[in-house]
Amino acid sequence: MKNLISTAVMAAFITACGQSSDESNATSAAGSQFAPFSQSYSCESGQSLEAEYSSTETVVVHYQENTQEMKIAVSASGARYAGEDLEWWIKGSGKGSEGVLFDHQEDGTTGEIIDNCIAD
């Protein structure tokens, strides 16, 4: 239950991430463009996860033997990325930010938690 509450809180963080591709490369109000970056995460299971954020709409997640490209998806809060069979939800950015890896269901819903991770 605690994991579901944590996920719900994470889901409430970033709602403005669902920009169009033209907007993802546009200059922000602050005058800076999105710069692609990678973030390493240490997970509760002892596994590592690497996330490559190539735009405001796309992330490539490397976890165990699985590599999957995911696209931004609707979320109440936080940033939710959905792929073929995985979902990656994040809250915050940089060191200490939280991420949760989930199964992604065929009907588009979020499945069981695979791992909880913290950015290194």
- Find all residues with CB under 8 Å of 119, minimum gap 6, and list them: 39, 40, 41, 92, 93, 94, 95, 96, 97, 98, 99
Is this structure's pTM higher than 0.75? no
- Going along the chain from its start, the domains and CATH numbers come out as 2-17+35-119 (2.40.128.200)
Which residues of the chain carry a pLDDT beneath 70?
A: 1-32, 76-77
Query: How much is the pLDDT for 32?
Result: 62
Query: How much is the pLDDT for 71?
Result: 92
CA distances 105 to 1, 30, 36, Å, are 19, 37, 28
